[in-house]
Amino acid sequence: MPQPTVEQFQRVEEKFWRIWNYPNCIGALDGKHCVIEKPPKTGSMYFNYKKEFSIVLLALVDADYKFITVDVGAYGRNSDGGIFRSSFLGQALANGTLNIPPPKSLPLSDVIAPHVIVCDEAFPLTKNTMRPFPGNALENNRENKVYNYRHCRARRVVENAFGILAKKFKIYNRKFNLKPENMDTIILATTVLHNFLRNDICYWQPGELEDTNTPEGLNNLTGVGGNNPREAFIIRENFKQFFVSDGSVPWQWEKAFTTRST
C-alpha cells in the first residue's frame, strides 16, 4: 500500500466526523492475530497470549472499513508496544513523517486539536494516538464514560474491518500451515483485495462481526502505560469536553451507560 498522503488523511478525517462523530480522526488502529501451525525451529517466538501460534496483522483503517496502512509479520509473542513501535506506522509517528495534517479547530469550536488515531488500551496515549479512559477513571464520572462511548464507536471500525476480512477470505477461519514469509505475502494480498472489494455492498452488520475478531485482537495485552506526556492527557480532555458540549449527539448519554465503551 502506498504511504498515505495529507490529502488522503483529510478525506478520512471528514468521514470519521460525518459517519462516526469523532472529529480530527485519521484512522482506527488495532492488531489481529492470524493463527498458524508452529513453524519449525522457532521455539516460542510465535506463541501468543491465547496459547496459540500466530503472526500479527497491525492495521490502520478508515471510516469505510478500508485499510490505510498495514504491518504484517510480527511474532505472536511480541508485546503491543513492541509491535507498534517497530512498525512503519509507529516509526513514522515518532519521526513526524506520517503526513498527518496540521492541527485544526474542532467543529463548532475554537479549540485547536491535533489529528489523532483512535486505539484501545493496549496502545500508548500520545498527542496523536488516543485511547479510552481506564476503568478506575470511570466510576462516578459521566463525562469520562461519554468520551469512552464516543471513542469506542469510532474505534470499532477496525474490528469490523477485520471481521469483513475474515468473512471474505475463509482462510482466516483455519490455521495457516505455511512458511512465515509466505504468510506475510498472503495476508498483505488479502488486505489489498479487501480494499478493492470494499466497492461491494457490505452484507454484514456490525453485530455479526464483533464475535469474529474480538478474541483475536490485541485487546487483552497489557497496556504500554508509563511516561505519557501531559500534553496527551490535555488533548483527550479537550475531546471529552467537546463531546459533552458543542459536539454532543442526542443518544450518547443513554448509550454511554448501557453499552461497554472501553
pLDDT > 90? residue 239: yes
pLDDT tens-digit profile of 145-185? Answer: 999 999 999 999 999 999 999 999 988 888 888 887 888 89
- Give the mean model confidence (pLDDT) for residues 117-139: 88
**Residue 170 exposed, middle or buried by CB count within 10 Å (0-12, 13-18, 19+):** exposed
DSSP letters, 56-109, are: EEEEEE-TTS-EEEEEEEEETTS-HHHHHHHSHHHHHHHHT-S-PPPPEEPTTS
Predicted confidence at residue 21, as pLDDT, reads 95
Residue with cell 479549540: 111
Euclidean distance between CA atoms 121 and 138, whole angstroms: 14
Amino acid identity, residue 119? C
Predicted confidence at residue 182, as pLDDT, reads 86
pLDDT > 50? residue 221: no
**Residue 197 exposed, middle or buried by CB count within 10 Å (0-12, 13-18, 19+):** middle
**Axis crossing angle, helix 180-197 with helix 142-168, rounded to the nearest 10:** 100
Confidence of residue 115 (pLDDT cuts 50, 70, 90): very high
Predicted confidence at residue 201, as pLDDT, reads 52
pLDDT tens-digit profile of 17-59? Answer: 999 999 999 999 999 888 888 878 778 887 777 788 888 899 9
Q: Would you tell me how many other CB atoms lie within 10 Å of the CB of residue 223?
A: 16
**pTM for the model:** 0.83
Predicted confidence at residue 228, as pLDDT, reads 55
Predicted confidence at residue 79, as pLDDT, reads 66
